[in-house]
Structure 1
C-alpha cells in the first residue's frame, strides 16, 4: 500500500508540473488567437498609430501580425516606460518564474518526504496543489483580461470581414481633402494629424474604393488568384492563413454586396521608392460565417447588411497600381 501511494504521488507531481507549464503559457496562447488586431505592413510606420479621422474617430487596432521588424529601443533599463506600452502581467517574467519555482520546489520536496504535504499527509498535498493551481489560473485570467483591448471591430471566428452593429446607410463617399476636419482636427494637439504628402487625386480614391469591394468579394469567394493580384505578398499570406483556418474548421466566410459609405484620408507618404496611403473606411456588407457542407449560418447574417469601420493601408511603386498592404480594425463601432 505505501508503494502504491508513492507511485501515485509521483504521478500527481508530474501532472501538476505539466499543468503549471500550461498555465504559464496560457496568456501568450490567447494573445496569439486574438482576432481583433491588425495585420500587414505600413513601412516604417507599421507600429505607429495612424491619425484618427472623421470616419474613424477612435484609434485603430495596433498591427500585431507583421513581417516588419519592430524598432529596437536603446533606452536604459531604468528609463520610464513609453505611454501606451504593455507592461508584463503579474505572471509574466519574474513573477511567472517565481511561481514555477515555488511549485517545482514544493513538488520536489514532496517527493523527498517534505514539501506540500507537510504534517497533513498526502491529502493535504493534493489540496494545496489544487488551491495553488486555481489561484494561478484565476489571477492570470484576470490580468490577461485587463491587458486585452476591447476593439469594437472584433472578428467573427477570426474572419477577415468584421461584422459590426447595423446603422442606416448613406451615399457619402471619400472626402477630399477632409484633412484636419471633424474628429481628425482634434488629433492635431497630440501631434498625430491627418496628412497627405503625396497629393492623392480622385482617381486614387476611386481605386481604393474598388479595392475595398474586390478584396472583400474575393475573400468571400476564396478566390486566391484575385487576392494575390490585389494584395502584397505579406497581406496575402495572412488572408490565406485565415482562409485555411476556416477550411480546417469546416466553415466559410461569405461576404457580398460590399458598399463604401464613407471614407477619408488618414495619411499618405513616400519612403524607399514607394508610396503609402492609409484610409479610414466605413462600409456595409452582407457578412456571415456558414458551414461548408450544409450552408447553415454559424455567425453573422447572410441576408441583412452590417456596417464596419476599418483602416486600410495601400502601397504602390511609381507608375504601378495600388495594392492592399495592411488592415486594422477600429475601436469605434459603426453608428
Structure 2
C-alpha cells in the first residue's frame, strides 16, 4: 500500500527532525540567557508556577536548580513545560513508561514496530493499535500510581490546602508607582495575616535588581552575599567560575526598570516572600577576557522580563532568593 508507506516516511522524518532540533534549541536557549542564571528557592512554592501578571503574561520557566526538596512543595498546577513524564512522584514508573514509548517509536523508525514480528501491524492500522496500546497502558499505570500515593500525600498537604490563594496583580488596579513602574498589592499568605507589600518594599526590589546585576558584572562575590541568599550566591559563583574556565566575562550594564508588578506575596512562619515580575532594559554582553572581543550579546540595549522572588526574615532586609525567566 502506498499510503501507509508515505505515512511511515513522514513519521520517520519527524522523529529525526525532533531528535536533531531539541539539542540545538537547548544550546540556543543557554547561550541567550548569559545574565545571572535562574534558580533558587521560593519556600513551599518553589516548584509551583507563580501567577502571571501584566508585566509577565506568560508562565515563568520552572526552577531547575534548587536546594529545596520537591516533597516540601505546596500543591499547585504543574509548571509550564513540565512534560507528560515529568510529574512529581512518577520516578521509576515514568521512566518505564517513557522507555516503553521510546522503544515503540524507535522500532517504527528503523522499519519495525513495537510488535515487529507481527506482519499485520506493519500497516496503518498496526501503527494506530500500537499507539493506542501504549496510551492505555501508560494511562492505567499513572492512574494506579496516583491513587496509590493520594492517601500518603494528603497529610503533608493538609495545611497548605487551607491557604488562601494569592491575589493576582491584575486585580490590583492600575500601576500606582509611576516612578519605578511597580504596582502595589496585597499578597495571599498562609494562616498568618496577609503580607502587604508597601512602596518601600518596591523601592528595595528595584534597588536589588540593579545592585545584583552590578555585583555580577564585577564578579564581586562578597557584595552578592549582602544581596542574595547563600543558595543564590552559590549559583552565581558556579556560573562565574564556568565563565572563567571558558575565558570569558559576562557584563550587564545600563539596567533600568521599565515595568514591574506583584505576582504573589506570602508569609511562612517568620519569613516573608514576595515574587515580582520585572521588565527592564539592559546591555548584556559576553567578551573574551584576553581580547575583549564580544562573543555573545552586543552593546545594543535590549529588554528582558524576569520573575524574581525576594525573601525577608525578622530584623533583616529583603534579599534575592530565586530568579525565573519569563
Q: Same fold (TM over 0.5)?
A: yes
Q: Deviations over 1:47-94 (max 9, x none)?
A: 111111111111111111111111389xxxxxxx97964224999434
- Specify the alignment match of 1:320 in structure 2: 316
Q: Please tell me whether residue 93 in structure 1 is matched to residue 99 in structure 2.
A: yes
Q: Distance in 2 between matches of 1:62 and 1:83?
A: 6
- Specify the alignment match of 1:173 in structure 2: 180
Q: Distance in 2 between matches of 1:176 and 1:88?
A: 37
Q: Deviations over 1:303-328 (max 9, x none)?
A: x2111100000001012111100000
Q: Distance in 2 between matches of 1:255 and 1:54?
A: 25
- Specify the alignment match of 1:310 in structure 2: 306
Runs of 4+ in 1 over 3 A off after TM superposition: 30-38, 81-85, 88-100
Q: Please tell me whether residue 239 in structure 1 is matched to residue 236 in structure 2.
A: yes
Pair 242,320 (structure 1): closer, same or farther in 2 beyond 3 Å: same
Among 290, 293, 298, which residue is 1:293 paired with?
A: 290
**Which runs of no fewer than 5 residues in structure 1 stay unpaired?**
1-23, 74-80, 101-170, 180-193, 331-335
- Specify the alignment match of 2:58 in structure 1: 58
* Residue 237 (structure 1) shift: 1.1
- Specify the alignment match of 1:225 in structure 2: 222
Using CA pairs under 8 Å that are at least 6 residues apart, name the structure with larger relative contact order, 1 or 2.
1
Among 267, 274, 278, which residue is 2:275 paired with?
A: 278
- Specify the alignment match of 1:42 in structure 2: 42
* Residue 233 (structure 1) shift: 0.8
Q: Distance in 2 between matches of 1:54 and 1:72?
A: 29
> 1:207-222 residue pairs with structure 2 within 5 A?
207-222=204-219
The higher radius of gyration belongs to 1
TM-score, length-scaled by structure 1: 0.56
Pair 83,240 (structure 1): closer, same or farther in 2 beyond 3 Å: closer
> 1:1-335 residue pairs with structure 2 within 5 A?
35=30, 38-71=38-71, 85-88=82-85, 92-95=98-101, 173-177=180-184, 195=188, 197-302=194-299, 304-330=300-326
**Given that residues 180 and 203 in structure 2 are in contact (C-alpha distance below 8 angstroms), is that contact kept between their aligned partners in structure 1?**
no
**Which runs of no fewer than 5 residues in structure 2 stay unpaired?**
1-18, 87-94, 107-177
- Specify the alignment match of 1:108 in structure 2: none
Q: Distance in 1 between matches of 2:185 and 2:231?
A: 30
TM-score, length-scaled by structure 2: 0.58
Q: Deviations over 1:235-274 (max 9, x none)?
A: 1111111111111111110111211111111111100321
* Residue 221 (structure 1) shift: 1.1
**Given that residues 269 and 275 in structure 1 are in contact (C-alpha distance below 8 angstroms), is that contact kept between their aligned partners in structure 2?**
yes
Q: Deviations over 1:184-243 (max 9, x none)?
A: xxxxxxxxxx74731111111111110000000110111111111111011111111111
Q: Distance in 1 between matches of 2:295 and 2:324?
A: 24
